[in-house]
Amino acid sequence: MKLMKNILSKFMNNTQKKIIKMKRDHFIREYFKNNIIFVSFVITTVLNATLLRFFCMHSIENYLSWKAIIADTFVVTFIGSFGYLLKPKNRFYYYGIACVFLTAICIINSVYYTFYTSFASISMISLTQYIGDVGDAVVENVLQLKDLVYVIAPIFFLFLHLRLVKKNYYKRIELKADRRKIMFKTLSFSAILLVIFLLTLSSLDVSRFMKQWNKEYIVMRFGIYVYQVNDLFTSLQPKINSMFGYDKAKKSFNDFFTEISDTPTTNEMTNAFAGKNIIVIHAESMMTNVIDLSFNGEEVTPNLNRLSKEGMYFSNFYSQVSVGTSSDSELTFNTSLLPTKSGTAFVSYSDRTYIGIPTLLREKGYYTFSMHANNADFWNRRAMHNKLGYNRFYSKADYEVEKENVIGLGLSDKEFFRQSVEKIAKVNEEHEKWYGLLIMLTNHTPFSDTDKYGDFAVDIKETITNEAGEEETISHPYMEGTKLGNYFKSIHYADAALGEFITGLDEKGLLENTIIVLYGDHDARLPRKDYERLYNYDKETDDILDKEDPNYRVYDSYQYELGRKVPFIIWSKDMKGTEYNFENTNVMGMYDASPTLGNMIGYYNKYSLGHDIFNIKDNNIVIFPNGNWVNNKIYYNSQKATYLPLSEEPISEEYINSNTEYTNKLLDISNDIIVFDLLNKEKNKEIGSGEENK
């Protein structure tokens, strides 16, 4: 009897489990059957977000990050839940529009990451006016096949919709469920996902999410959709903060600069070039890796090589640009401030007060001017050059631009320099001391006008003895046909233009009391695979060496990032062989240029964020807008929270945390200075008196 009871009990339990399982399976089948459009919307858009991480951040940790997947699913289900308010036949349009919108987010960020190694910001909307001028560069040098993979989602979605219409699907499910009830259930599910996600966050996650500096980290932990929502609010934050956050920003500003002296310190370089005329060359996309590089015995940049050997050469120099690229370099070089957190200073904050090199030199009796044969309003230079203190801006309207002299975006560098020499000669006649900035243009991406750069082969030529016993020259393609190879052709042309410019100045007697300062504005943003070919080419196979080959040179993401160095050179015709003719190998950033030059020329800006390299020497640190930093000891990648040692010294966690804290502090201080216009003394007085009256 007892045995029968046990058997019956087991049978009942098993039957109950089967019934429950059948009900569950039935519920799942029915749910998917009645919610095909919603489920497809969720799957395709979350898959797109996952693919974005896969293509941008190549590690399993990144693209299979369960935190990011949960976050992306939360956003998508939250958006999708409101589709249930519509009748089934209209839901496709809601989900279709949402799918296209989210797909566009993925495409834009995929393209943007290729160029900037970061993710896009809503604040970029203010920069779309410049896309037309560089549209070819985007298509030729940035847009890749991977950026089009995301369109499969909306195409699939449309195909699915057409199939469902054909099967009369929407009419069949019209009366099957309460729309509001399903919406609230879906919202509840998204709320559960949100709670689960929030419980997984660490204090570091929250801190970085709030600051938004480290965009790669946020996408890796929070997903692309949460990042984009957060970026929307962050982009609006400066306008909100400028009304409500002034007091906090001003206090941080005062605390930081109270410790900095009102008078400069002196060193062996003090006043080395006081009273000299100064020509600054803003060298478009010029990188350090071209110096001393040759193909078939012909130097890529013979003139740049000469300047680096005859002048003062800072060989470990980095630009610190963000979305403003060239304009960010101008800002940082002139003011020793960093790019803003949202938008660009040149476009979004052109009404602020800046302390630029031209302003400081005008106080010393200098006449200041800038020259650029492009539209004066490109990057809002017309307004910003006035803000920085230039007496005169020579733009495209001041140059003769003939069709045969146009390369890439505008007037060729050779013609630009030729016409500029005449203008500088006139300035020299009218003014005792002067300071001029010349912005080059030809060496701008996409480096596709190869027929106009002149003959410069980037192949490998070698002489062999053929079967007949005769010598003949054969060629191996090497860098021919690659983007990097085209860049070398372009930079060879730009270097020749630079040489002609110096010769032209000398012929006019304009080098007698003049120093030339040259800086590369940023790297050329070229694919890493081309550098792999440059350093690991196997001419026998016309391919890259195997990684097991003893001659294989590792060129990983660290080498790629550190390889973005740009030249910084100070040169005069009589500097060779003097105490000023040397190479400085200490790590240095664009924000160190102004204080270093200031000590040598004789001006001082207390509100510089960089340092005079001859004061700080090997203790310098260069910070980047994405939160990464480098010094002589290590390069730290804050996105990955990993580092590359650059010396034999042991590195402690405390050392990394200390430098990272300083990096974040400087980024915040710089952003506050610009957003809150903290260098505007009159504004500060008005606010201060208002507070006192209270």
pLDDT digit string (tens) for 526-542? Answer: 888 999 999 999 999 99
Does residue 458 have a pLDDT over 70?
yes
Residue whose entry in the numeric block shows the structure tokens 């990451």: 113
What percent of the chain has pLDDT above 90?
61
How confident is the prediction for the chain on average, in pLDDT? Answer: 87
573-592: buried (b, 16+ CB within 10 Å) or exposed (e) per residue?
eebeeeebbeebebbbbbbb
Does residue 547 have a pLDDT over 80?
yes
Residue whose entry in the numeric block shows the structure tokens 């974005």: 52
Reported confidence tier of residue 160, pLDDT bands at 50, 70, 90: confident
Does residue 12 have a pLDDT over 60?
no
196-216: buried (b, 16+ CB within 10 Å) or exposed (e) per residue?
ebeeeeeeebeebbebbbbbb
DSSP string for 13-27 = HHHHHHHHHHHHHHH
pLDDT at residue 309, rounded to an integer: 98
Number of residues assigned to the chain = 694
Cα dihedral 475, 479, 483, 488 sign: negative
What is the rounded CA–CA span in Å between residue 641 and residue 626?
12
What is the rounded CA–CA span in Å between residue 301 and residue 489?
10
pLDDT at residue 124, rounded to an integer: 62
Query: Is residue 425 helix, strand or coil?
Result: helix
State the average pLDDT over residues 445-461: 93
Does residue 138 have a pLDDT over 70?
no
pLDDT at residue 234, rounded to an integer: 72
DSSP string for 447-507 = ---GGGS-----SEEEEEE-TTS-EEEEEE-TTTTSHHHHHHHHHHHHHHHHHHHHHHHHH
Does residue 655 have a pLDDT over 50?
yes
Burial of 60 (0-12, 13-18, 19+ CB in 10 A): exposed
Helix (H) or strand (E) holding 42: helix 36-56
pLDDT at residue 692, rounded to an integer: 41
602-619 pLDDT per residue, tens: 999 999 999 999 999 999
Q: Which residue has the higher pLDDT, 88 or 652?
A: 652
CA–chain centroid gap for 570, Å, is 26
Q: Which residue has the higher pLDDT, 59 or 86?
A: 86
Does residue 131 have a pLDDT over 70?
no
pLDDT at residue 19, rounded to an integer: 43
Q: 651-659: which pairs have CB atoms within 8 A and are 24 or more residues apart?
A: 659/621, 659/629, 659/631
State the average pLDDT over residues 572-595: 98
pLDDT at residue 148, rounded to an integer: 81
390-431 pLDDT per residue, tens: 999 999 999 999 999 999 889 999 999 999 999 999 999 999
Does residue 162 have a pLDDT over 60?
yes
- The closest alpha carbon to 444, from 399, 393, 487, belongs to 487
Reported confidence tier of residue 6, pLDDT bands at 50, 70, 90: low
Reported confidence tier of residue 26, pLDDT bands at 50, 70, 90: very low
Reported confidence tier of residue 130, pLDDT bands at 50, 70, 90: low
pLDDT at residue 25, rounded to an integer: 46
Contact in structure between 474 and 461 (CB atoms under 8 Å): yes
Query: Is residue 105 helix, strand or coil?
Result: helix
Does residue 516 have a pLDDT over 90?
yes
pLDDT at residue 638, rounded to an integer: 86
Which range, of 23-27, 147-151, 668-672, averages the lowest pLDDT?
23-27
Q: Which residue has the higher pLDDT, 243 or 137?
A: 243
Reported confidence tier of residue 125, pLDDT bands at 50, 70, 90: low
Residue whose entry in the numeric block shows the structure tokens 């140059």: 399
Reported confidence tier of residue 218, pLDDT bands at 50, 70, 90: confident
Which range, of 135-139, 468-472, 510-514, 681-685, averages the lowest pLDDT?
135-139
